[in-house]
Structure 1
Amino acid sequence: MSSLDPTPVHIGISLTDPAAASEAISAMYGGTDLAAVQLDDTFSFRYTAQGDETMSLRSSHFSGRLAGDVPPGDDVVVQWLTSGTGWFDTGSSPLELTPGRPVPLLPQRTFSFDLSDYDQRLVHLDRALVERVASERGSDVGAGLRFDLHAEPSAAAVRAWHNSAALVAHTLRDAGSGGLLHREMARLMSAALLEMYPLSPLPDAGTSRVRSAHVRAAVEYVHAHAHLPITTTSVAEAVDVGLRALQEAFRSELGVTPNEYVRSVRLDRARDELLQTDPTTTMVRDVARHWGFMHLGRFSQMYAARFGEYPRDTLAR
């Protein structure tokens, strides 16, 4: 994105066919397996957006039921219902949506959703801008934007968000998008989001016992990218060090190979997810595959060796 010349965003859609509505939403958000169901005699879908790629304000009306999955995107999307019901699920326990409560969609995770007869407001913020504002506030954004969606934002922070959104809406109506004022408004909305949902702290990356700058960088890289198909070679390339040198440094300072360290981090992440998910809707196999363990039997053995219990026992807690 060019900060000097952001692309304008102007959308106005009005449809009366569920299939066409599903197609339009999929085109905007990259949704998969979207199911749009007409619940009453009539169906309507309306969607508007105004702003630019730095920030846009949007509204959505859907008279029916809409469900599906949406993959990660470049924007940080904050949504709140003004009417209707629904829930989001980002891989932990599902979050029931409360009208008026803003919820940021995690930009690094696919999320599932199910909404019925809803009116929705949304703010799209450029992800890089939110990360800059978070960094200026002293947050470590090396592992991405980590919002705890189950943390209840304070009433004051929610009021500040809605007041800021109203101010932006008035400004867009009177002055339009683009220019310095719009960029400052986008920073205002980013700050308001971070007041509601401060970034969750990074897990301990084990860097306190690391002396080598290359090993420290590699450890941080692994923690930030554990959900991706990284290899020892890709880690070495990311921190600009030779493969053999990285392997020897890991053995010297951490007592493990880089592959063993990656596996350990992924086991920790899998355990965190098993502890946080609903055992009635989650399968161990799916969690294992999400963290790169394709063979369920070997995953269970490694998990039990590390944590003293099988993953199914952790999930059943």
Structure 2
Amino acid sequence: MGGRLSVSSCDLDGFEGLHHAVQGSYVDVMQLRRGKLRGTLSHIGIGDFSLSVGSFNLGVRTQRTSSDDKLIVGMLLSAEDRVTHFAFDMRPADVLAIPPAIEHDGTFHGASSYAALRFDLSEVASIFAGEARLSDPATWCEKNRYRADPAVAAVTARRLSQIVSRLAQHQDALSEFSADFWKRAIVDCITATIFQSLPLDETGTLPSALRLVHNVEDYLAAAGARPVHVSELCAAFRVSRRGLHRAFHDVFGIGPVTFLRYKRLCAIHSTLKESSPGKTTVAEVALQQGFVELGRFSQYYFALFGEYPSETLGLRGRRVALAA
């Protein structure tokens, strides 16, 4: 899932800007309401994978015929009026699957915002590893809508906005490994609706919790300092998220997401402790380890270590000065 990261953003000045609402695709657009259409459009590219995030202030009609074998998974982030795609009525945080080579039509009756992933159908096996139905490419050959929990909408919209903003500011500073982590984080953010709509996984065989956790720890040790996303672990060990969560909770009393967060916080702590304040910033180190919201990151850091990251970075400088 690797690749270098690129981010581009622009302001919309007319409905024509929405012709490229999804990176790599051309969409026919007709304005439905009077006024000057304005908005914003951002694209994040990581290898062949892309995320598009757009917003606009007026109703539009969109039509698209795919000319390639890419799958599009879109999420409606906000809407002031009715939105329909195919024959589906959409609510904020609902997810729409648009199969390759399928003609797509949508109607936005008012101001709206959306996010859309575009990737190869062959990648679903790794993206949804451990989820038997979703990891099967055949599942994605039919259009579908996944209805969201209303609580997901605000969280998703805020987090995606933060990710796009932060990556745009620091795209040149990210390594290929960090870019891969953010690719997985973006996918995870948009597909949260899909996972929460799946039935509970109470069947199937799993490795023992302790053996699975030990295997994960060996995997993390081999990964070194690079951040590892939970979806990467599911892909590597062919286990569902629920199965991985059960194993970690049985062994540590915490889930794998919390465990990985602690792991990344410890990596940041070690980096800051060995860095010079004038040559390293907390923001850059945090972003390399997958933290986009600095305020929340500082809270996590303080809760775990009893000091703020700026203090860790500054402590070494003061000690060196005293020793001199």
Range class of TM-score, shorter chain: 0.3 to 0.5
Q: TM-score, normalised by structure 2?
A: 0.46
Structure with higher RCO (Cα < 8 A, 6+ apart): 2
